[in-house]
Amino acid sequence: MRPRLIFGIAGIVVFTSLVMFNFSQSISSYVCFEEAATMDNDRVHVIGTWDSSQPASFSTETMTFTFFMTDENGNTRRVVYPRPKPNNFEQADQLVVIGQMRGDTFVSRDMLVKCPSKYNDAINPELSELQ
């Protein structure tokens, strides 16, 4: 075996294992609030929907937006988001909050707002009224 080949193979093995390890560390899976409470990670992803029956407001005092979200198992928790309400919040058919549970409150670092896509099923008011 030529030394350069050995180096190359060793390099590829080390590189691949490092990348895969790092990759597996940097992804996580979508969980519910109860699971999130048991996780130590501060970038837990929780999927859910906005609970519009409870108050949601932005406080100019703490500069946080607080709302209630119901996860896929039907559990509702208070969520604190450190920015103003995202533009398309009310429209979202799904929210993904990224952060961690603090007691009964989910402190979110980021929030992804998944909207009914424009490329799919935007329904004209005229049409939706007729339906």
Partner 1 sequence: MIGILGQAALSLAFVSAILSTWFYYRAAQKGGVRSETLANALFFLKGAFTFFASGLLVYLIFTHQFQYYYVYNYTSSDLQNVYLWAAFYSGQEGSLLLWILSSFLVGLAIIRWTTPEYRAPVMVFMGLTQVFLLSMVSGFPIPGWGDLGASPFRTLASEMSDSPVFRANPDFVPSEGSGLNDLLRSPWIIIHPPVIFLGFAMMTVPYAFALASLWKRKYHEWIHPALPWTLGANLCLLTAIFLGGYWAYVTLSFGGYWAWDPVENASLVPWIFGMAGIHAMLIQKKHASSHKASIIFAILAYVTIIYQTFLTRSGILGDSSVHSFVDLGLYNHLLLFILVTGGVGFGLLAYRYRELPEPKKESPILSREFMMFSGAMVLFLSGLVIILGTSSPILGRLFVDNPTPPDQQFYNDWTLPFGVLIGIMTVVTQFLWWKRRDAESLAAVLITPTLIASVITLTAVIWVDMRNVWWMVYLFAAVFAVAGNGQVMIQMLRRNPRRIGGTLTHIGFAVLMIGFLGSGFDRPMVDQRTRDYNRAVAAGQVYDDDGFRVNQPIEFVELEKGKPRLIDGRYMVTYQSGAITERNRPGEQEYEIVFEDVRSGRSFVMRPTVYPMLSNSSPGAVEWTVDPDVRTSWFSDIFMYVAGSALVDREIERMNRENPGHMQTIDQLGPQMADYDPDETRIRVRRGGTVQIGEYSLTFNNFTYVDEAELPDNSIIGVKADLLLVHRESGESVQIHPAFTLVADDGSQYAFNPPVAFNLPGEMAGQEDETEYDQGTGRQSGTYPEANGALQAAGSVRFLEVHPDTDEIELSIRGVEGEPEREWVLLAAEHKPLISVVWLGTFLLMFGFSVSIIYRWADQKKREALEKEGRDPEMIDEDLRVDDVMDDDAVAADDDYDDETVDGGHADSNGDPQEKEQRPHPTELK
Q: Contact positions toward partner 1, by CB under 8 A?
A: 2, 4, 15, 19, 22-24, 26-31, 42-43, 45, 58, 60, 62-64, 82-85, 87-88, 90-91, 96, 102-103, 105, 107, 109, 112, 114-115, 117-120, 122-128, 130-131
Q: For residue 126, what are its two tokens?
A: 């005229």
Cα–Cα distance for residue pair 118/86, rounded to 1 Å: 17
Q: Which is nearer to partner 1, 29 or 74 (CB)?
A: 29
CB of 96 to partner 1, least distance (A): 7
Q: Which is nearer to partner 1, 34 or 90 (CB)?
A: 90
**Secondary structure string (H, E, C) spanning 70-120:** EECCCCEEEEEECCCCCCCCCCCCEEEEEEEEECCEEEEEEEEEECCCCCC
